[in-house]
Amino acid sequence: MEEGEPEYGVRGFFRDSSLTKIFFSTVFSSSGFGIIFIILPFYIYAVIGREDVTFYGLILTLTYVLSVLLILPSGIFADRFSRILLIRVGSVSSAIGGFLLYFASNWQGLLVGSLLLYSSYPLFSPSLSAIIADRTTGYGKDLAYSIVYGTNLAFFAVGNGLLYAFQLMNIEFDLEGLRFTVLIFALFNLIAGVIAFTIRHKRVPSRNKVKDSSDEDVFERESDSGKIDNSSGDAKGGIFGFLGQNMAWKPVLISLFLGLGAGFMVPFFMLFFEDRFNVEIGTIGLIFAVQQVFMALGNFVAPLISRSIRRIPTMALTEIAAIICAIYLAFTQNLTLAIIAFIARGALMNVANPLIQSLMMDLVGEDYRGTASANIALAFSVGNIPSPYISSIIINRQKDFAPSLLIYTPSLLIMSAIYSIAVMVVASLNRVDKEAIKKHLTAKAIPPPEMI
């Protein structure tokens, strides 16, 4: 490979030691989160001694409030100081939260453990996205995001599947059995954190003089006047100023609507299968595992489809199909068809994940990538704040008055309506996507950053 020519493809991804370590850290953290995502509401019920959907919804809402408070400062810190440091802090937070949940004996312990656990995402997510963008270009960036997001989904499925394995091993999902699964989750996150501490990344800015630290990504730029200059690329204007450039605010708006819609139902699907169809926890894990496999395949296929019909048509068409599946789920009384629609909805909806990140990175300058990624995650978390708690109230009221087969119907329909608004915003980015593709085709190859 000649100097200045990025190596695309899976082989090029794994020749980068930092991206490889990100991959293996993702393997363990995603496996752990695949466990906790499903069992958390049931574990909460077991610890507090009663089924309380509203308390679960309240915990989710508070975790999203914490995400909103952390995500943007994390992105700014990643751009101006160190990306690696936040990845390490986030990994530690996740592991500590897991062990606190394991030892929790009351609602206070559950709340603190959950907050620490879910604070890990807003801490490391902007840095992770920015590091991937720093070390890749063009189609290689699309592929790298797909590998990381696809790996996340695939090993999330492994965690889901472990619950079914525990069921086959006759492990009871009572309080002690659930504590055992929480411990497994905590240990997986501990291993992921150890790997995260070995990642090295040296940022090579697009212009101006660089003042390096020894092996980390802390640096500052000096302009001709001798003052620090944090601007580069297409975007200027500070924390939010870049959103006005190249319609960069629209991916943020899309993320806002996706977060608002997802909060109404995604955290409650495990309860949906238990309440509507009396499915056991281990079997729910198997259903989720199969869905995650197809979601991972969707992420890997996304860049291939987008190369043929571009990113925006890919996102719009797959999201419309996902909405149709969600509407069907709202009314179906057939378990087999509900499982098929559930799997298809998740796979189709998540095709957009790597593509929206890739598009956003194309719309902003290199020195704003961490902040831009943070704004996408911030918007998703802001959207998530009201919806889980509102949905939990609706579900509780439906349990009192509605037939069991209609308990989750309002939440599913509200989610579908909000997703439809997101699709309209996606479609409005069609021209911008064309211009970004044209820019890639005409631009000179950008030398990849030095690999440590």
The tens digit of pLDDT for each residue in 378-411 reads 888 899 999 999 999 999 988 888 777 789 999 9
pLDDT band for position 271 (cuts 50, 70, 90) = very high
Give the whole-angstrom CA distance, residue 22 versus residue 64.
Answer: 24
Distances, alpha carbon 422 to alpha carbons 53, 249, 296, 313, in Å: 27, 13, 22, 13
pLDDT band for position 414 (cuts 50, 70, 90) = very high
Give the whole-angstrom CA distance, residue 272 versus residue 160.
Answer: 16
pLDDT band for position 243 (cuts 50, 70, 90) = low
Question: Which alpha helices (DSSP H) does 49-82 contain, by range?
Answer: 53-80
Q: Are 126 and 4 in contact (CB under 8 A)?
A: no
The reported pLDDT for the residue numbered 1 is: 37
pLDDT band for position 204 (cuts 50, 70, 90) = low
Question: Where is mean pLDDT largest: 66-70, 207-211, 372-376?
Answer: 66-70
Q: Are 377 and 124 in contact (CB under 8 A)?
A: no
> Is a pLDDT exceeding 70 seen at residue 138?
no
Mean pLDDT of 143-155: 81
Q: Are 327 and 170 in contact (CB under 8 A)?
A: no
By CB atoms closer than 10 A (0-12, 13-18, 19+), residue 366 is: buried
The tens digit of pLDDT for each residue in 330-359 reads 999 999 999 999 999 998 988 877 787 777
DSSP character for 174?
S
Q: Which of 286-290, 312-316, 353-357 has the lowest mean pLDDT?
A: 353-357
pLDDT band for position 232 (cuts 50, 70, 90) = very low
The answer to whether the Cα torsion of 317, 319, 322, 327 is positive or negative is negative
| CATH code assigned to 10-205+242-442 | 1.20.1250.20
DSSP 355-413: HHHHHHHHHS-GGGHHHHHHHHHHHHHHHHTHHHHHHHHHHHHHHHHS-GGGTTHHHHH
The reported pLDDT for the residue numbered 284 is: 96
Helix count and strand count (H, E) for the chain: 18, 2
CA-wise closest residue to 90 among 36, 133, 128, 146 = 128
The reported pLDDT for the residue numbered 399 is: 86
pTM of the predicted protein model: 0.77
Instruction: Sketch the domain layout of the chain as residue ranges.
Output: 10-205+242-442
The answer to whether the Cα torsion of 190, 191, 192, 193 is positive or negative is positive
Give the whole-angstrom CA distance, residue 244 versus residue 232.
Answer: 15
